[in-house]
Chains A and B, each alone.
Chain A
Amino acid sequence: MSGPARLQHVFAALLATAIVAPSPARSADSALPACLAGSPVPLVVMIGESTARPALLRGGIAPALEIIEADNSLPLWSASMSPPSSQQFGAMHAQFAGSLLPIDLDGDGVHDRIYAGDLAGRLWRFDLHHGQPARQWATGGVFADLSRGALRGFIAPPDVSLPADGTAGPAWFNIAIGTARIGAAAVANRLYVLRDHFPFEAWTQPRYDQWRPLRETDLVPLPRLGAVLAQPAPDGYYIETGAADFLSPTLTISGRATLALAEPSSMTGAGCLVAAVVSSIDLAIGAESPAAPAAGAGGGPTRLAITMHAGEPFALVRDGSHAACMAGDVHVPSCDVDLSPRRTWWRREDAD
């Protein structure tokens, strides 16, 4: 089977399983190639007990979301539209693939929040209530409904970050998440940069039920990668990125998100190798910045053309107090990280 034909087959399978009502016997792994289904995400939870437990979060069809024990794969919690899951959410009619991000908000080692994107193009937000039984453990709902009927959904995990400038006012989360086609036909994909103005606030279920999900009409559109925000975007913005898919999560370093735009027709072989273009944007204004140093003086933004495994995140290879950012075997300087410790305060205890 040729690359495009194989891809068409893959996405046809996706389409068949993503939007329709769930079938209890199927899991995500049966519908998606491994590289697009995503790996289970490690997290630490306290479900129905007061001790923290390592676990794995995975998406699927029925249940749509599931948490299992890391050691023995015993189910701890699940969520779907209808029983027999631990919790039911009426709008959870679409499958989740690998677009899952648990976050430890308070640094206590236990995860407090999950952002998850489904294949219908909706971003979910869940608050996790430690120690509660499985049937009450999570409160959540659709945070942003960005589907608009187009056959595009979320395969890559969201990338959540606080603003880089450390604004004095109330903080928010920038949530960068890109879409991928869910079907054979090409779609106009987008990179969304949404703003969650309640980053550290745990919502009750009634609060979630009252929340009106963000839609594209709430966001400022940018017509192409490289365009810059010309007006305030209190709820966020989105960039129209064309037919290329977001299969890997963006990585935000110093307020700049490095992203990989995958060309789906180039996908070959069982290894899911795909041609991609790496770029970098300033999350505050959407401006594109060089992914690699420009050749010659006065060069514009430089994009890197690479080949990578679909769904593979940017890897950081630590060398002393510096971490080199890699996409496959290619070094991407725009997401290199300085891990050097910085001095904050000093005192002398033996002084009078």
Chain B
Amino acid sequence: MRAEARARRASGFAVAWMLVLVALIALAGGAAAHDVLFARQLATSRAQQQRAFALAELGLRAGMVQLSAAAAPVADTGTLHPGTARSDSLHVTLQPGAVRIPAGYSAGRFITRDYEIQSTGASARNARSVLVQGMTRLEAAATQSP
């Protein structure tokens, strides 16, 4: 009678242990799944942020090319959608700044003008990167025409 009762208690204890074990495994699995999900989200977000940064850099280069090509650029702004993804865009603003007499060059024929190129790259999931590049350039003075 006592032996039978002892066997029944042992069997109940094993079931409890198994349930605890299953719960622990489920928890660990859930945590791992959460980690994986979180890491994936992080990686995706990081990739989108890097994409936005690259787009912003592309915008800076576009602004510099525009500055190199134009004789006397005025303030300009524009938005581009490079690539196929509609979520990818870059917004470039070219802003002329201070003017001064350049050292070593004929005053009245040349000026030095500062520029600020602001480029905003945007990608999916609201990823956004803003880069600002200061530039300076030798230009013909307004009354002359190189």
Chain A residues engaging chain B, CB cutoff 8 angstroms: 41-43, 101-109, 159-166, 171, 173, 249-255, 315-318, 320-321, 323, 337-350
Q: Is B30 an interface residue (CB 8 A)?
A: no
Once bound together, how far apart are the Cα atoms of A101 and B109, in whole Å? 10
* Cross-chain pairs A/B with CB under 8 angstroms, 25 sampled: A42-B143, A102-B108, A103-B107, A103-B108, A104-B111, A106-B100, A159-B106, A161-B106, A161-B107, A162-B101, A162-B107, A171-B103, A249-B106, A252-B106, A255-B104, A318-B140, A318-B146, A321-B69, A323-B146, A341-B68, A341-B136, A345-B134, A346-B134, A349-B130, A349-B132
Tell me whether B105 and A254 are in contact (CB under 8 A). Answer: yes
Which residues of the other chain, A, contact B100 by a CB distance below 8 angstroms?
A: 106-107
Tell me whether B143 and A43 are in contact (CB under 8 A). Answer: yes
Q: Distance in Å from the Cβ of B122 to the closest Cβ of chain A?
A: 11
A-B pair number, CB within 8 angstroms = 119
Q: Distance in Å from the Cβ of A105 to the closest Cβ of chain B?
A: 7
The one of A107, A252, A346 that contacts B132, using a Cβ cutoff of 8 Å = A346
Tell me whether B146 and A342 are in contact (CB under 8 A). Answer: no
Count residues of B near A (Cβ-Cβ below 8 Å).
39
Tell me whether B114 and A344 are in contact (CB under 8 A). Answer: yes
The one of B67, B110, B136, B142 that contacts A344, using a Cβ cutoff of 8 Å = B136
Chain B residues engaging chain A, CB cutoff 8 angstroms: 64, 67-69, 71, 98-111, 114-115, 118, 128-143, 146
Which residues of the other chain, B, contact A341 by a CB distance below 8 angstroms?
A: 64, 67-68, 115, 135-137
Once bound together, how far apart are the Cα atoms of A163 and B107, in whole Å? 11
Which residues of the other chain, B, contact A346 by a CB distance below 8 angstroms?
A: 131-134
Which residues of the other chain, A, contact B114 by a CB distance below 8 angstroms?
A: 344
Once bound together, how far apart are the Cα atoms of A340 and B69, in whole Å? 9
The one of B71, B130, B138 that contacts A350, using a Cβ cutoff of 8 Å = B130
Q: Distance in Å from the Cβ of B101 to the closest Cβ of chain A?
A: 6
